[in-house]
Chain A
Amino acid sequence: MNIVGISACTSGIAHTYIAKEKLIKAGQELGHKVRIETQGTIGIEDELTTKEIAEADLVIIAADIKVSGKERFLGKKIVEVPTHIAIKAPKQLYQKIDAELNKQ
């Protein structure tokens, strides 16, 4: 799958970036293409492009706070989880998403 997402945590210093890394790593291992935008204490980095969002099959928002720019994902399938899920069990998260999507 083509996956885009956002990670953001309370202080925007550490968890945001660990979550990003874990989502990308686990996603790649499972054969997904993953792009994650971070919204941290120094602002937005690796901002998702309109094209990337348009091409995405799924949006993952791993956040403990309100993220900005959610309206960009209008009409997309969005999965929202706290950052600790992305950090602790990224593979299981993808597997669960797969299972849910196959149910539909």
Chain B
Amino acid sequence: MKNEQIGECKVNMRIEELDFNKVVTEDLIELNLQGTTKEEVLNELTNLLFENGCISNKEGFIRDVMFRENEGVTGLEKGVAIPHGKSKHVLKTSIAIGRTNKFVEWESLDGNPINIIILFAVKDTDKTTIHIKLLQKVAVLLADEETISKFQTLQTKKEFLKILTEKD
């Protein structure tokens, strides 16, 4: 019985790992965002989502993200913001990640501008909780200051993905 349980556990872990790569991939990361305003940056990340088939309609998705922006502050601390859109224009629940060259004005908890943007695109009708769980994992990582300082200094998309997937 015990062995069986361990076996099952292993299988579950493999599935989760696989799915994580579905939610965020190197294609959805841009460490060289050019935008200098919130709107420009959101546009760039939305383009990434669109090009990768994660959303069906750019304007509609941005409208839903801005709706959430108006409901409350999405900037955290130390330059990180987590805008998110739960939207019918999302085809596949995903995360687009960007780092800007210049800090961008953005309402945040510590009052500082933002240069790391983690955009959550959540399917309106996502009944499969596994995707949301993966987003939760990312959210939990953002509670860790060490992780955030790594986000500020790392140089490659690979490193970014590694941080997101290794800690559990």
Contacts and interface: CB of A to CB of B under 8 A. Distances in A.
Instruction: From B68, B73, B120, B136, name the one whose CB has the most chain A CB atoms within 10 angstroms.
Output: B136
Contacts of B24: none
A88 B110 contact: yes
Instruction: From B110, B135, B139, name the one whose CB has the most chain A CB atoms within 10 angstroms.
Output: B139
A14 B139 contact: yes
A18 B68 contact: no
9 contacts: A14-B138, A15-B82, A16-B139, A17-B139, A17-B143, A21-B144, A41-B122, A84-B73, A87-B109
Interface string B3-26: 000000000000000000000000
B157 interface: no
Interface string A1-29: 00000000111011111101110010000
A20 B122 CA distance: 20
A22 B143 contact: yes
Interface SS, B side: mixed
Interface residues of B, number: 24
B44 interface: no
Contacts, number: 60
Interface SS, A side: helix
Interface of B: 68, 71-73, 76-77, 82, 84, 86, 109-110, 120, 122, 129, 132-133, 135-136, 138-140, 142-144
A13 B139 contact: yes
Interface residues of A, number: 20
A101 interface: no
